[in-house]
Structure 1
Protein backbone atom coordinates (compact mmCIF):
# COMPACT_ATOMS: atom_id res chain seq x y z
CA UNK A 1 0.00 0.00 0.00
CA UNK A 2 1.27 3.48 -0.77
CA UNK A 3 0.23 6.77 0.75
CA UNK A 4 0.94 10.40 0.13
CA UNK A 5 0.42 11.69 3.68
CA UNK A 6 2.19 11.38 7.01
CA UNK A 7 0.68 11.97 10.44
CA UNK A 8 2.83 13.79 12.97
CA UNK A 9 2.79 12.17 16.38
CA UNK A 10 5.15 12.45 19.33
CA UNK A 11 8.25 10.34 18.81
CA UNK A 12 7.64 8.44 22.06
CA UNK A 13 4.14 7.49 20.90
CA UNK A 14 5.42 6.38 17.49
CA UNK A 15 7.98 4.22 19.26
CA UNK A 16 5.22 2.74 21.47
CA UNK A 17 3.19 1.95 18.32
CA UNK A 18 6.22 0.32 16.69
CA UNK A 19 6.87 -1.83 19.76
CA UNK A 20 3.27 -3.04 19.79
CA UNK A 21 2.77 -1.72 23.32
CA UNK A 22 -0.10 0.41 22.03
CA UNK A 23 -2.24 0.61 18.90
CA UNK A 24 -4.49 3.43 20.05
CA UNK A 25 -3.99 7.18 19.61
CA UNK A 26 -6.09 9.88 21.24
CA UNK A 27 -6.16 12.96 19.03
CA UNK A 28 -7.77 16.32 19.43
CA UNK A 29 -6.19 18.62 16.95
CA UNK A 30 -6.89 22.28 17.18
CA UNK A 31 -3.28 22.66 16.11
CA UNK A 32 -3.87 24.83 13.09
CA UNK A 33 -5.78 22.14 11.22
CA UNK A 34 -9.27 23.35 10.39
CA UNK A 35 -11.55 25.57 12.40
CA UNK A 36 -13.06 22.43 13.92
CA UNK A 37 -9.72 20.80 14.73
CA UNK A 38 -8.17 17.50 13.77
CA UNK A 39 -10.14 15.28 11.44
CA UNK A 40 -9.37 11.75 10.35
CA UNK A 41 -8.86 12.80 6.75
CA UNK A 42 -6.75 9.84 5.67
CA UNK A 43 -7.28 6.16 6.43
CA UNK A 44 -3.71 5.22 5.56
CA UNK A 45 -0.61 7.28 6.37
CA UNK A 46 3.04 7.10 7.28
CA UNK A 47 3.99 7.82 10.89
CA UNK A 48 6.03 11.02 11.23
CA UNK A 49 7.79 11.07 14.63
CA UNK A 50 8.01 14.62 15.95
CA UNK A 51 9.84 16.06 18.89
CA UNK A 52 7.97 19.37 18.78
CA UNK A 53 5.72 19.81 21.83
CA UNK A 54 6.56 16.30 23.11
CA UNK A 55 5.84 16.58 26.82
CA UNK A 56 7.30 14.04 29.25
CA UNK A 57 4.80 15.11 31.93
CA UNK A 58 1.92 13.97 29.71
CA UNK A 59 3.13 10.42 29.13
CA UNK A 60 2.29 7.53 31.41
CA UNK A 61 5.37 6.65 33.45
CA UNK A 62 5.95 3.32 31.71
CA UNK A 63 6.47 5.18 28.41
CA UNK A 64 9.04 7.66 29.79
CA UNK A 65 11.96 5.40 28.73
CA UNK A 66 10.88 5.96 25.11
CA UNK A 67 11.71 9.67 25.31
CA UNK A 68 14.89 10.72 23.55
CA UNK A 69 16.38 13.81 21.96
CA UNK A 70 15.98 14.23 18.22
CA UNK A 71 18.66 11.86 16.82
CA UNK A 72 19.05 13.76 13.55
CA UNK A 73 17.60 17.30 13.54
CA UNK A 74 16.54 18.34 10.06
CA UNK A 75 15.94 14.76 8.93
CA UNK A 76 12.73 12.89 9.58
CA UNK A 77 12.65 9.11 9.55
CA UNK A 78 9.27 7.64 8.66
CA UNK A 79 9.42 4.12 10.13
CA UNK A 80 5.97 2.68 9.46
CA UNK A 81 2.64 2.80 7.74
CA UNK A 82 -0.51 3.10 9.83
CA UNK A 83 -3.96 2.14 8.63
CA UNK A 84 -7.03 3.23 10.55
CA UNK A 85 -8.87 0.16 11.80
CA UNK A 86 -11.53 2.03 13.81
CA UNK A 87 -12.35 5.59 14.89
CA UNK A 88 -14.48 6.78 17.78
CA UNK A 89 -15.43 10.39 18.48
CA UNK A 90 -15.62 10.56 22.26
CA UNK A 91 -17.71 13.30 23.81
CA UNK A 92 -17.67 12.11 27.43
CA UNK A 93 -14.54 12.65 29.51
CA UNK A 94 -15.10 9.52 31.62
CA UNK A 95 -15.19 7.42 28.44
CA UNK A 96 -11.95 9.03 27.26
CA UNK A 97 -10.32 8.33 30.63
CA UNK A 98 -11.49 4.71 30.45
CA UNK A 99 -9.04 4.28 27.54
CA UNK A 100 -6.02 5.54 29.50
CA UNK A 101 -4.32 2.18 30.00
CA UNK A 102 -4.72 1.28 26.32
CA UNK A 103 -2.53 4.13 25.04
CA UNK A 104 0.47 6.24 26.10
CA UNK A 105 -0.98 9.49 27.51
CA UNK A 106 -1.68 10.00 31.20
CA UNK A 107 -5.04 11.12 32.63
CA UNK A 108 -4.05 14.80 32.86
CA UNK A 109 -3.05 14.85 29.18
CA UNK A 110 -6.26 13.12 28.14
CA UNK A 111 -8.31 15.65 30.09
CA UNK A 112 -6.35 18.60 28.67
CA UNK A 113 -6.77 17.36 25.10
CA UNK A 114 -10.43 16.56 25.69
CA UNK A 115 -11.20 20.13 26.81
CA UNK A 116 -8.79 21.87 24.40
CA UNK A 117 -10.24 25.12 23.01
CA UNK A 118 -13.43 24.63 24.97
CA UNK A 119 -14.61 21.85 22.68
CA UNK A 120 -15.20 18.75 24.82
CA UNK A 121 -14.39 15.77 22.59
CA UNK A 122 -11.51 13.84 21.04
CA UNK A 123 -10.94 11.05 18.55
CA UNK A 124 -9.69 7.59 19.47
CA UNK A 125 -7.92 5.93 16.53
CA UNK A 126 -7.17 2.23 16.55
CA UNK A 127 -4.41 1.74 13.98
CA UNK A 128 -2.80 -1.22 12.27
CA UNK A 129 0.93 -0.50 12.10
CA UNK A 130 3.21 -2.04 9.50
CA UNK A 131 6.94 -1.45 9.82
CA UNK A 132 8.56 -0.36 6.59
CA UNK A 133 11.23 -2.82 5.48
CA UNK A 134 13.41 0.24 4.87
CA UNK A 135 12.46 3.41 6.79
CA UNK A 136 12.03 6.47 4.64
CA UNK A 137 14.50 9.28 5.43
CA UNK A 138 13.48 12.77 4.32
CA UNK A 139 15.07 16.17 4.75
CA UNK A 140 12.56 18.35 6.54
CA UNK A 141 11.36 21.20 4.40
CA UNK A 142 9.68 24.41 5.59
CA UNK A 143 6.35 22.95 4.45
CA UNK A 144 6.80 19.99 6.82
CA UNK A 145 7.56 22.10 9.89
CA UNK A 146 5.13 23.69 12.29
CA UNK A 147 2.06 22.68 14.19
CA UNK A 148 0.15 20.60 11.69
CA UNK A 149 -0.88 16.97 11.96
CA UNK A 150 -1.06 15.99 8.29
CA UNK A 151 2.03 16.40 6.11
CA UNK A 152 1.58 15.90 2.36
CA UNK A 153 4.42 13.95 0.79
CA UNK A 154 5.63 13.52 -2.74
CA UNK A 155 5.62 10.05 -4.19
CA UNK A 156 6.33 7.50 -1.52
CA UNK A 157 7.21 3.86 -2.07
CA UNK A 158 4.75 1.08 -1.44
CA UNK A 159 4.95 -0.09 2.14
CA UNK A 160 6.43 -3.50 2.70
CA UNK A 161 7.20 -4.94 6.06
CA UNK A 162 5.88 -6.73 9.08
CA UNK A 163 2.67 -5.90 10.90
CA UNK A 164 3.19 -5.06 14.55
CA UNK A 165 -0.05 -6.77 15.68
CA UNK A 166 -2.12 -9.55 14.16
CA UNK A 167 -5.67 -9.05 12.93
CA UNK A 168 -6.91 -11.10 15.87
CA UNK A 169 -5.04 -8.90 18.36
CA UNK A 170 -6.45 -5.75 16.77
CA UNK A 171 -9.96 -7.16 16.81
CA UNK A 172 -9.61 -8.07 20.49
CA UNK A 173 -8.40 -4.54 21.23
CA UNK A 174 -11.32 -3.11 19.21
CA UNK A 175 -13.74 -5.21 21.27
CA UNK A 176 -12.10 -4.05 24.52
CA UNK A 177 -12.42 -0.40 23.47
CA UNK A 178 -16.07 -0.94 22.59
CA UNK A 179 -16.62 -2.52 26.01
CA UNK A 180 -14.95 0.42 27.79
CA UNK A 181 -16.95 2.97 25.80
CA UNK A 182 -20.30 1.27 26.29
CA UNK A 183 -22.69 3.19 28.52
CA UNK A 184 -23.03 1.65 31.96
CA UNK A 185 -26.22 1.69 33.87
Structure 2
Protein backbone atom coordinates (compact mmCIF):
# COMPACT_ATOMS: atom_id res chain seq x y z
CA UNK A 1 0.00 0.00 0.00
CA UNK A 2 1.14 3.51 -0.78
CA UNK A 3 0.58 6.24 1.79
CA UNK A 4 -1.66 8.70 -0.02
CA UNK A 5 -2.11 12.40 0.19
CA UNK A 6 -4.96 13.35 2.41
CA UNK A 7 -6.43 15.69 -0.19
CA UNK A 8 -8.24 15.21 -3.48
CA UNK A 9 -8.59 17.59 -6.43
CA UNK A 10 -12.05 17.89 -7.96
CA UNK A 11 -12.01 17.84 -11.74
CA UNK A 12 -14.60 17.03 -14.39
CA UNK A 13 -15.13 13.28 -14.69
CA UNK A 14 -14.29 13.34 -18.41
CA UNK A 15 -10.93 14.97 -17.75
CA UNK A 16 -10.17 12.51 -14.93
CA UNK A 17 -10.92 9.61 -17.29
CA UNK A 18 -8.57 11.08 -19.91
CA UNK A 19 -5.79 11.51 -17.33
CA UNK A 20 -6.17 7.95 -16.02
CA UNK A 21 -6.15 6.57 -19.59
CA UNK A 22 -2.99 8.53 -20.51
CA UNK A 23 -4.93 10.46 -23.17
CA UNK A 24 -3.95 13.68 -21.40
CA UNK A 25 -1.56 14.80 -18.66
CA UNK A 26 -2.41 18.50 -18.50
CA UNK A 27 -5.12 20.38 -16.60
CA UNK A 28 -5.95 24.03 -17.06
CA UNK A 29 -7.38 25.37 -13.82
CA UNK A 30 -8.85 28.59 -12.54
CA UNK A 31 -10.84 27.56 -9.47
CA UNK A 32 -14.33 27.10 -8.13
CA UNK A 33 -16.78 29.73 -7.02
CA UNK A 34 -15.90 29.15 -3.38
CA UNK A 35 -12.12 29.55 -3.83
CA UNK A 36 -10.19 32.26 -2.04
CA UNK A 37 -10.12 35.83 -3.33
CA UNK A 38 -6.98 34.98 -5.32
CA UNK A 39 -8.64 31.97 -6.98
CA UNK A 40 -7.22 28.50 -7.41
CA UNK A 41 -3.77 27.90 -5.98
CA UNK A 42 -1.71 24.74 -6.26
CA UNK A 43 -1.81 23.94 -2.57
CA UNK A 44 -0.80 20.29 -2.92
CA UNK A 45 1.78 18.60 -5.14
CA UNK A 46 0.34 15.09 -4.62
CA UNK A 47 -3.34 14.32 -4.48
CA UNK A 48 -6.10 11.93 -5.43
CA UNK A 49 -8.23 12.69 -8.47
CA UNK A 50 -11.86 13.34 -7.50
CA UNK A 51 -14.11 13.05 -10.58
CA UNK A 52 -17.06 15.40 -10.46
CA UNK A 53 -20.10 15.68 -12.68
CA UNK A 54 -21.05 19.10 -11.32
CA UNK A 55 -20.77 21.82 -13.99
CA UNK A 56 -19.30 19.36 -16.53
CA UNK A 57 -20.23 20.93 -19.85
CA UNK A 58 -20.14 18.82 -23.04
CA UNK A 59 -19.94 22.00 -25.15
CA UNK A 60 -16.62 22.84 -23.48
CA UNK A 61 -14.96 19.51 -24.31
CA UNK A 62 -12.99 18.88 -27.48
CA UNK A 63 -14.72 16.32 -29.74
CA UNK A 64 -12.20 13.55 -29.08
CA UNK A 65 -13.12 13.65 -25.38
CA UNK A 66 -16.92 13.78 -25.60
CA UNK A 67 -17.10 10.00 -25.99
CA UNK A 68 -16.03 9.80 -22.34
CA UNK A 69 -19.10 11.71 -21.13
CA UNK A 70 -21.34 9.63 -18.89
CA UNK A 71 -23.90 9.96 -16.15
CA UNK A 72 -22.66 9.58 -12.61
CA UNK A 73 -22.33 5.78 -12.26
CA UNK A 74 -22.59 5.90 -8.45
CA UNK A 75 -24.67 8.84 -7.20
CA UNK A 76 -23.93 9.54 -3.55
CA UNK A 77 -20.50 7.96 -3.79
CA UNK A 78 -17.10 9.14 -4.99
CA UNK A 79 -14.92 6.80 -7.04
CA UNK A 80 -11.31 8.01 -6.73
CA UNK A 81 -9.42 6.48 -9.67
CA UNK A 82 -5.82 7.67 -9.34
CA UNK A 83 -3.03 9.46 -7.55
CA UNK A 84 -1.57 12.50 -9.27
CA UNK A 85 1.71 14.28 -8.77
CA UNK A 86 2.37 17.76 -10.12
CA UNK A 87 5.41 17.59 -12.41
CA UNK A 88 5.24 21.23 -13.56
CA UNK A 89 3.11 24.29 -12.80
CA UNK A 90 2.79 27.17 -15.22
CA UNK A 91 0.90 30.32 -14.31
CA UNK A 92 -0.21 31.43 -17.77
CA UNK A 93 -0.92 35.16 -17.99
CA UNK A 94 -1.26 35.43 -21.77
CA UNK A 95 -4.49 34.28 -23.44
CA UNK A 96 -2.51 33.41 -26.58
CA UNK A 97 -0.25 31.12 -24.53
CA UNK A 98 -3.22 29.53 -22.74
CA UNK A 99 -4.93 28.82 -26.07
CA UNK A 100 -1.73 27.26 -27.41
CA UNK A 101 -2.21 24.50 -24.80
CA UNK A 102 -5.54 23.36 -26.27
CA UNK A 103 -4.12 20.26 -28.03
CA UNK A 104 -2.65 18.93 -24.77
CA UNK A 105 -5.83 18.62 -22.73
CA UNK A 106 -9.62 18.15 -22.99
CA UNK A 107 -11.05 21.69 -22.99
CA UNK A 108 -12.06 23.64 -26.08
CA UNK A 109 -10.46 26.99 -26.87
CA UNK A 110 -13.70 28.68 -25.76
CA UNK A 111 -13.58 26.93 -22.38
CA UNK A 112 -9.93 27.89 -21.92
CA UNK A 113 -10.74 31.51 -22.74
CA UNK A 114 -13.69 31.53 -20.33
CA UNK A 115 -11.50 30.15 -17.54
CA UNK A 116 -8.74 32.59 -18.41
CA UNK A 117 -11.07 35.59 -17.96
CA UNK A 118 -13.08 34.16 -15.02
CA UNK A 119 -13.67 36.75 -12.30
CA UNK A 120 -11.92 39.39 -14.41
CA UNK A 121 -8.52 38.00 -13.44
CA UNK A 122 -6.69 37.14 -16.69
CA UNK A 123 -4.62 34.02 -15.99
CA UNK A 124 -4.86 30.25 -15.53
CA UNK A 125 -2.68 27.54 -14.07
CA UNK A 126 -1.52 24.75 -16.37
CA UNK A 127 -0.63 21.64 -14.38
CA UNK A 128 1.40 18.83 -15.90
CA UNK A 129 0.59 15.68 -13.95
CA UNK A 130 2.09 12.24 -13.47
CA UNK A 131 -1.02 10.13 -12.95
CA UNK A 132 -0.86 6.68 -11.40
CA UNK A 133 -4.14 4.76 -11.66
CA UNK A 134 -5.10 2.95 -8.48
CA UNK A 135 -5.02 -0.82 -8.67
CA UNK A 136 -8.54 -0.72 -7.23
CA UNK A 137 -10.45 2.57 -7.37
CA UNK A 138 -11.31 3.85 -3.91
CA UNK A 139 -15.08 4.15 -3.39
CA UNK A 140 -16.28 6.44 -0.60
CA UNK A 141 -19.67 7.70 0.43
CA UNK A 142 -19.96 11.38 -0.44
CA UNK A 143 -20.29 13.48 2.70
CA UNK A 144 -21.61 17.06 3.07
CA UNK A 145 -17.99 18.20 3.59
CA UNK A 146 -17.11 16.97 0.08
CA UNK A 147 -19.86 18.91 -1.68
CA UNK A 148 -19.67 22.37 -3.20
CA UNK A 149 -17.66 24.27 -5.77
CA UNK A 150 -14.21 23.92 -4.30
CA UNK A 151 -11.11 22.44 -5.85
CA UNK A 152 -9.45 20.78 -2.85
CA UNK A 153 -11.25 18.27 -0.64
CA UNK A 154 -9.67 16.94 2.59
CA UNK A 155 -10.00 13.15 2.54
CA UNK A 156 -8.72 12.02 5.95
CA UNK A 157 -6.52 8.99 6.44
CA UNK A 158 -6.52 6.76 3.37
CA UNK A 159 -4.22 4.13 1.93
CA UNK A 160 -4.38 2.93 -1.63
CA UNK A 161 -2.20 0.97 -4.01
CA UNK A 162 -1.16 2.85 -7.13
CA UNK A 163 0.00 1.20 -10.31
CA UNK A 164 2.40 2.35 -12.99
CA UNK A 165 2.07 5.87 -14.41
CA UNK A 166 -0.53 6.31 -17.16
CA UNK A 167 2.19 7.88 -19.32
CA UNK A 168 5.73 6.46 -19.31
CA UNK A 169 8.37 8.83 -17.89
CA UNK A 170 9.99 9.57 -21.26
CA UNK A 171 6.61 10.44 -22.82
CA UNK A 172 5.72 12.73 -19.91
CA UNK A 173 9.12 14.43 -20.15
CA UNK A 174 8.68 14.96 -23.91
CA UNK A 175 5.21 16.39 -23.30
CA UNK A 176 6.58 18.74 -20.63
CA UNK A 177 9.26 19.99 -23.02
CA UNK A 178 6.67 20.61 -25.77
CA UNK A 179 4.38 22.49 -23.40
CA UNK A 180 7.21 24.70 -22.15
CA UNK A 181 8.26 25.48 -25.74
CA UNK A 182 4.67 26.39 -26.70
CA UNK A 183 4.27 28.62 -23.69
CA UNK A 184 7.57 30.36 -24.38
CA UNK A 185 6.71 30.86 -28.07
CA UNK A 186 3.32 32.40 -27.24
CA UNK A 187 4.27 34.60 -24.31
CA UNK A 188 4.99 38.22 -25.13
The TM-score range, normalised by the shorter chain, is: over 0.9
Other structure's SS at 2:9 match: strand
Runs of 4+ in 1 over 3 A off after TM superposition: none
Other structure's SS at 1:155 match: coil
Other structure's SS at 2:162 match: coil
- Gap runs ≥5 in structure 1: none
Which residue is equivalent to 1:44?
Answer: 46
* Deviation sequence 1:74-118 (CA, Å, 0-9, x none): 000001000000000000000000000010000000000000000
Which residue is equivalent to 1:136?
Answer: 138
* Match of residue 120, structure 2, among 113, 118, 121: 118
Alpha-carbon distance, 1:30 to partner? 4.5
Alpha-carbon distance, 1:159 to partner? 3.6
- Output the aligned Cα RMSD: 1.1
User: Are residues 1:23 and 2:9 paired?
Assistant: no
- CA distance in 2 between partners of 1:141 and 1:104 (Å): 28
Which residue is equivalent to 2:173?
Answer: 171
1:1-185 → structure 2 map (5 Å cutoff):
1-183=3-185
- CA distance in 2 between partners of 1:38 and 1:125 (Å): 12
- Gap runs ≥5 in structure 2: none
- CA distance in 2 between partners of 1:154 and 1:22 (Å): 28
Query: Does structure 1 conserve the Cα–Cα contact (< 8 Å) formed by 2:92 and 2:98?
Result: yes
- CA distance in 1 between partners of 2:75 and 2:146 (Å): 13
- CA distance in 1 between partners of 2:26 and 2:37 (Å): 24
Alignment TM-score, normalising by the size of structure 1: 0.97
Alignment TM-score, normalising by the size of structure 2: 0.96
Other structure's SS at 2:170 match: helix
